[in-house]
Structure 1
């Protein structure tokens, strides 16, 4: 379920992961570690400047079936990847 940008911005994340300056696979590992700590229904947001992470993170959580990708916001050189723990 992809949310609109304004809907994503209105969400209160339960966990925020700082992936700035990191590259794959570390960006993915950071997201997966945060999801392990999250409870079902909680929102995890990874902030990254690595554009490839905007593809690898959603693909990995879909394959693992451990989270739902709610959407990604591009803010200049940074991206916010929104995930909901299943």
Structure 2
């Protein structure tokens, strides 16, 4: 399913991870820890200002089949990366 930014903004955020100021690989580590705490079907959102994380996190969760990457909202120089735990 393809989500618009409006769709994403309406989703219930079960877990929000603050990764502002962090860089890879720490941004990925934080996302993985957040997914471990989440139950299947829950939405995990990582907020980061690190552009590279917008590529590494979706690729890693897809490759490892940990979560479905739903999309990204860019707001005020930050990226909100939406993941749905498998």
Q: TM-score surpassing 0.5? A: yes
Give the Cα separation in 2 of the matches to 1:9 and 1:27: 21
Aligned to 2:80: 80
Aligned to 2:62: 62
Give the Cα separation in 2 of the matches to 1:76 and 1:11: 19
Q: Which runs of 5+ in 1 are unaligned?
A: none
Give the Cα separation in 1 of the matches to 2:82 and 2:2: 10
1:11-26 → structure 2 map (5 Å cutoff)? 11-26=11-26
Q: Which runs of 4+ in 1 moved over 6 A?
A: none
1:7-33 deviation digits (Å, cap 9, x = unpaired):
000011100000000000000000000
Corresponding position: 1:33 with 2:33: yes
What TM-score do you get using the length of structure 2 for normalisation?
A: 0.97
Q: Is the 8 A contact 1:2 1:69 kept in 2?
A: no
Q: Which runs of 5+ in 2 are unaligned?
A: none
How many positions carry a matched residue from both structures? 86
Aligned to 2:8: 8
What TM-score do you get using the length of structure 1 for normalisation?
A: 0.97
TM-aligned CA deviation for residue 3 of structure 1: 0.6
